[in-house]
Amino acid sequence: MKIQVKIMAIFILFFALAFISCGNYTTPTNTVMYNGNTNTDGTVPIDTNTYLPTFTVTVLGNGTLTRAGYSFTCWNTQADGNGTDRAPASTFAMGSSNVVLYAKWTALPTYTVTYDANGGSGGLPADGNNYLAGAAVTVLGNETLTRAGYRFTCWNTQADGNGTDRAPASTFAMGSSNVVLYAKWTALPTYTVTYDANGGSGGLPADSNNYLEGATVTVLGNGTLENPGYTFGGWNTQADGNGTDSAPATTFAMGSSNVVLYARWRLITCPVNMYYWVEAGVCSCNYLYVMQGGSCQLCPTGWNYVNGACTCTKTKTNNCTP
């Protein structure tokens, strides 16, 4: 009888303890937290729910969360992105511990701007920036870039200049590819020097050069140019000789218009030297020189100047007095 009483007491105690334990037991619940993981703007979503193990969790979106230079990809169970991805609106079963989901970011592509001399030389500008699509690009100047015979106009998106012009200090929105800007050159005007015989004949000198304003011009000689009865006296900027004289081999600076140099001719005058002849015992005087072929020629011995020609009519004497 005592043994039965003891067994009954043990059962009662067991069930009492079990009842007490069941009444105070609380099943553990877990939470889901979101981490911006180096976001630069916006706020993380908040999940106020508590989840029992195996309960379904619906993943929230990124809300206003952003990061400069990156796009939001999804959430991940590790900050370094090497855990399990959780896409917004997807679901997973809650485990036995709290969950932290980290924003997973993908770097946006960036693009560069480079400058091409396009035939020029000197210091090219360099843009070391990496631009996101849509970012504002400020166009650089031409630095010390030059090209002989040309002036820098602007930059262009094509080497042949048929693309879009980009002026220094202007801005444009970066597209979705790298940009090359080519120097756009405009040819400077050039000028010529021509020679005019101005009444002469023969071979004119020819200057085939094209001169930039300020360039040095070397004056040419008269070549085979001649003018009977005249001597060549250099070149002049006016046909009447009232301009600026330019002697062969001298130089001058090219101006801003073409130049014509006119031959300058000087009339030949024979020296007044007398030659003496004896005729019928009387001394006669005639000129020693005669104009022939456009120059003064000495009359041959025994010839006299008669009616514009040397004619053998007299005998030379050296001892008569006029």
Would 6 be classed as within a structural domain?
no
The domain total for the chain is 4
Average pLDDT of the residues in 263-290: 55
The last residue of a domain, from among 120, 155, 187 = 187
Residue count (the chain): 322
The last residue of a domain, from among 46, 76, 107 = 107
Say if residue 290 is in the same domain as residue 241: no
Is the pLDDT confidence value at 203 over 60? Answer: yes
Q: What is the pLDDT of residues 72-116, one digit of tens each?
A: 999 999 999 999 999 999 999 999 999 999 999 999 999 999 999
pTM of the complete model:
0.62
Say if residue 258 is in the same domain as residue 300: no
Q: What is the pLDDT of residue 21?
A: 44
Say if residue 246 is in the same domain as residue 281: no
Say if residue 60 is in the same domain as residue 97: yes
CATH number, domain at 243?
2.60.40
Buried-exposed string 266-275: b where 16+ CB fall within 10 A, e elsewhere: eeeeeeeeeb
Would 223 be classed as within a structural domain?
yes
Average pLDDT of the residues in 40-55: 96
Q: What is the pLDDT of residue 90?
A: 98
Least confident of 24-33, 134-143, 233-242: 24-33
Average pLDDT of the residues in 247-269: 92
Say if residue 210 is in the same domain as residue 262: yes
Q: What is the pLDDT of residue 149?
A: 93
Say if residue 133 is in the same domain as residue 177: yes
The last residue of a domain, from among 90, 107, 124 = 107
Least confident of 12-16, 63-67, 70-74, 262-266: 12-16
Q: What is the pLDDT of residue 271?
A: 46
d(CA 9, CA 165): 101
Is the pLDDT confidence value at 7 over 70? Answer: no
In the Cβ-directed half-sphere of 97, how many Cα atoms lie within 13 Å? Answer: 3
Say if residue 195 is in the same domain as residue 261: yes
Say if residue 280 is in the same domain as residue 263: no
CA 232, chain centre distance (Å): 49
DSSP string, 83-122: S-EE-TT-EEE--SS-EEEEEEEEEPPEE-EEEE-TT-BS
Would 319 be classed as within a structural domain?
no
Q: What is the pLDDT of residue 299?
A: 54
Would 234 be classed as within a structural domain?
yes
Q: What is the mean pLDDT of the chain?
A: 84
Say if residue 168 is in the same domain as residue 227: no
Say if residue 71 is in the same domain as residue 100: yes
Q: What is the pLDDT of residue 238?
A: 97
Would 61 be classed as within a structural domain?
yes
Would 20 be classed as within a structural domain?
no
The answer to whether 119 and 147 have CB atoms below 8 angstroms apart is: yes
d(CA 103, CA 35): 6
**Numbers of helices and strands, H then E, in the chain:** 1, 28
CA 200, chain centre distance (Å): 49
Domain that holds residue 145: 111-187
Say if residue 102 is in the same domain as residue 119: no
Q: What is the pLDDT of residues 290-317, one digit of tens each?
A: 455 555 555 555 555 455 454 444 444 4
Is the pLDDT confidence value at 276 over 60? Answer: no
Would 129 be classed as within a structural domain?
yes
Would 317 be classed as within a structural domain?
no
Q: Which is more confidently placed, 312 or 183? A: 183
The answer to whether 136 and 173 have CB atoms below 8 angstroms apart is: yes
Say if residue 233 is in the same domain as residue 211: yes
Least confident of 16-25, 42-51, 147-156, 290-299: 16-25
Least confident of 112-116, 250-254, 271-275: 271-275
Q: What is the pLDDT of residue 295?
A: 53
Q: What is the pLDDT of residue 293?
A: 53
Q: What is the pLDDT of residues 204-239, one digit of tens each?
A: 999 999 999 999 999 999 999 998 878 899 999 999
Least confident of 17-21, 141-145, 147-151: 17-21
